[in-house]
Amino acid sequence: MPYLEKLDTVIRDIIEPAAVATDRDAVFPRTAIAALGETGLLGLVSATGVGGMGFDLAAAAQVVEHIARACPSTAMVVTMHYCGTTVIEKFGADSIRREIAAGQHLTTLAWSDMGSRSHFWASVGSTRPDGDAYLLDCDKTMVTAAGEADSYVWSSPPVKAAGASTLWLVGSKTEGLSQPQLFDGMGLRGNGSSPLSCKALRLPASAMLGSDGGGFDIMLGAVLPVFSVLIASCSQGIMEAALERACAHASASKFEHLGSALADLPTIRAYLARARIRADMARTLRDDTLAALAGGRADAMLRVMQTKAAAAEAALEVTDVAMRVCGGAAFRRDVGVERYFRDARAASVMAPTSDVLFDFIGKAVCGMPVFD
Ligand SMILES: Cc1cc2nc3c(=O)[nH]c(=O)nc-3n(C[C@H](O)[C@H](O)[C@H](O)COP(=O)(O)OP(=O)(O)OC[C@H]3O[C@@H](n4cnc5c(N)ncnc54)[C@H](O)[C@@H]3O)c2cc1C
């Protein structure tokens, strides 16, 4: 797979060496994103007709997982870029699609509103006509790559149609946008997930992505499968990295007075075994979700909801085990486990959160309408 070879080079030469500083200093991984652009990987899922690589979701999942093993902050930026690209590929202008395909344009999703919190599908704020344009007012809680991306796939209440939201392509330099606060998170510290506000943000009709009021269907039909699989892949990469480090630490750490290693303790091995099973179950579900989507299976949407919840919760457990197995040493940053422990916390609270997904999945298995 030539794209994986290119990716491995970028990871080895740029992403991995910068990962600790990206987290410690909470710096956006600009050099990594530029390198991913130069190698064509920001255009991985863009159509070949606009100069992209034309790969599918399975390839994007591999890319995100590989990056997450080295730097989950960078992997989340790429995840949100591929999600935004999915919408732009369907509804955006060819000029922007070509820029994305050429690696010269980073995009992201700006959906979570202060007023509706994690219920991103219910946009709040206001959208009103102004001559032949529209004026938007709203406050977004957290936007990955805020102030760093070139555009935002932005949600607002519909202008006049029924429905929960309308999507827009908002250039990051558009007048009326502001970033009230910089991101200083406990995890994914490099991904720049700051709040963004817009006051009288003026957009032409051509900035609308899809139809007025059509945002909900795009969010659920087009983006949720991509987002769920990719964020699950990010969690998978985190689990692999944490387990690799925990196993290496358990094998290398000796009790000199006993002539044995941590890994000689059956309890330590059992912890690692359970964590390995949990990670492999999440991977199997992620891969079956990809198969369900590719084959148009009837259970595809159930799998989509399951894979995000399963991987996010598994990553919480696996990174917790990695901390326990590595003992007091895990508190030291140089052992390299605590970064993954912190980064793993995000997926379960990124919308749709695990709790919301449990409710949706519960409704589905009880035969109730899920999205009513
Ligand atoms: C690192 C990071 C990056 C992010 N990037 C983006 C981005 O790029 N774009 C974007 O739009 N958003 C982004 N977000 C925001 C994210 O998607 C969520 O909207 C946000 O994390 C939710 O936080 P909150 O405090 O508003 O949650 P709240 O809605 O206040 O939820 C608090 C708790 O209540 C639970 N809860 C809420 N509703 C229900 C329910 N119906 N049933 C059961 N439990 C419920 C939740 O599970 C959670 O445990 C990001 C968040 C993080 C942490």
Enumerate residues 6+ apart whose C-beta is below 8 A from 165.
121, 122, 123, 155, 156, 157, 158, 213, 215, 216, 219
Write down the mean pLDDT value for the chain.
97
Residue with tokens 């863009």: 46
The pLDDT score that the predictor gives to residue 264 is 98
The pLDDT score that the predictor gives to residue 1 is 67
227 in the same domain as 201: no
Separation CA 71–CA 190 (nearest Å) = 9
What value does the mean pLDDT take over residues 244-267?
A: 97
Bridge pairing between strands 166-171 and 208-209? antiparallel
pLDDT at 132 over 70: yes
Q: Which of 214, 248, 271 is the last residue of a domain?
A: 214
Q: Ligand 1 atom 29: the closest Cα is on which residue?
A: 118
Task: Indicate which atom in ligand 1 lies nearest the CA of residue 348.
Answer: 47
What distance in angstroms lies between residue 347's CA and the mean position of ligand 1's atoms? 9
7 lines ligand 1 (CB under 6 A): no
Q: Domain for residue 193, yes or no?
A: yes
What distance in angstroms lies between residue 119's CA and the mean position of ligand 1's atoms? 7
Residue with tokens 């007025």: 212
182 in the same domain as 232: no
The pLDDT score that the predictor gives to residue 334 is 85
What value does the mean pLDDT take over residues 93-118?
A: 98
77 lines ligand 1 (CB under 6 A): no
Q: Domain for residue 371, yes or no?
A: no
**Could you tell me which of 105, 110, 109, 108 has the C-alpha nearest to residue 36?**
105
What distance in angstroms lies between residue 273's CA and the mean position of ligand 1's atoms? 31
346 in the same domain as 247: yes
**Tens of pLDDT along 324-351?**
999 999 999 888 899 999 999 999 999 9
78 lines ligand 1 (CB under 6 A): no
How many other CB atoms sit within 10 Å of the CB of residue 366? Answer: 8
CATH of the domain at 41: 1.10.540.10
The residue with greater pLDDT, 84 or 371, is 84
The pLDDT score that the predictor gives to residue 89 is 98
What distance in angstroms lies between residue 352's CA and the mean position of ligand 1's atoms? 7
Q: Domain for residue 102, yes or no?
A: yes
Q: Which of 106, 127, 148 is the last residue of a domain?
A: 106
258 in the same domain as 273: yes
Distance set, CA 183 to CA 70, 83, 144, 338 (Å): 21, 21, 9, 19
24 lines ligand 1 (CB under 6 A): no
192 in the same domain as 93: no
CATH of the domain at 184: 2.40.110.10
Separation CA 78–CA 243 (nearest Å) = 23
pLDDT at 151 over 90: yes
**Tens of pLDDT along 205-255?**
999 999 999 999 999 999 999 999 999 999 999 999 999 999 999 999 999
- The sign one gets for the Cα dihedral 169, 174, 175, 179 is positive
The pLDDT score that the predictor gives to residue 372 is 72
355 lines ligand 1 (CB under 6 A): yes
**Tens of pLDDT along 14-50?**
999 999 999 999 999 999 999 999 999 999 999 999 9
Task: Indicate which atom in ligand 1 lies nearest the CA of residue 354.
Answer: 47
Q: Which domain holds residue 188?
A: 109-214
22 lines ligand 1 (CB under 6 A): no
88 in the same domain as 24: yes
What distance in angstroms lies between residue 261's CA and the mean position of ligand 1's atoms? 42
52 in the same domain as 137: no
Helix, strand, coil percentages for the chain (3-state, nearest 5) = 55, 15, 30
Task: Give the sheet arrangement for strand 107-110, strand by strand.
Answer: 107-110, 151-156, 166-171, 208-209
The pLDDT score that the predictor gives to residue 2 is 86
Whole-model pTM above 0.85?
yes
Q: Domain for residue 221, yes or no?
A: yes
Displacement of CA 69 from its chain's centroid (Å)? 14
Bridge pairing between strands 166-171 and 151-156? antiparallel
Q: Which of 51, 77, 106 is the last residue of a domain?
A: 106
The pLDDT score that the predictor gives to residue 204 is 97
* E strand intervals along the chain: 107-110, 126-130, 133-143, 151-156, 166-171, 177-178, 194-204, 208-209, 254-255, 260-261
309 lines ligand 1 (CB under 6 A): no
**Tens of pLDDT along 161-187?**
998 999 999 999 999 999 999 999 999
Q: Domain for residue 372, yes or no?
A: no
222 in the same domain as 356: yes
Reduced 3-state DSSP string for 74-134 = HHHHHHHHHHHHHHHHHHCCHHHHHHHHCCCCCEEEECCECCCCCCCCCCCCEEEEECCEE
pLDDT at 124 over 80: yes
356 lines ligand 1 (CB under 6 A): yes
116 in the same domain as 200: yes
Q: Domain for residue 275, yes or no?
A: yes
227 in the same domain as 89: no
What value does the mean pLDDT take over residues 81-94?
A: 98
By the 8 A CB rule, do 200 and 137 touch? yes
What value does the mean pLDDT take over residues 118-135?
A: 96
Q: Domain for residue 336, yes or no?
A: yes
312 in the same domain as 252: yes
Domains in the chain, number? 3
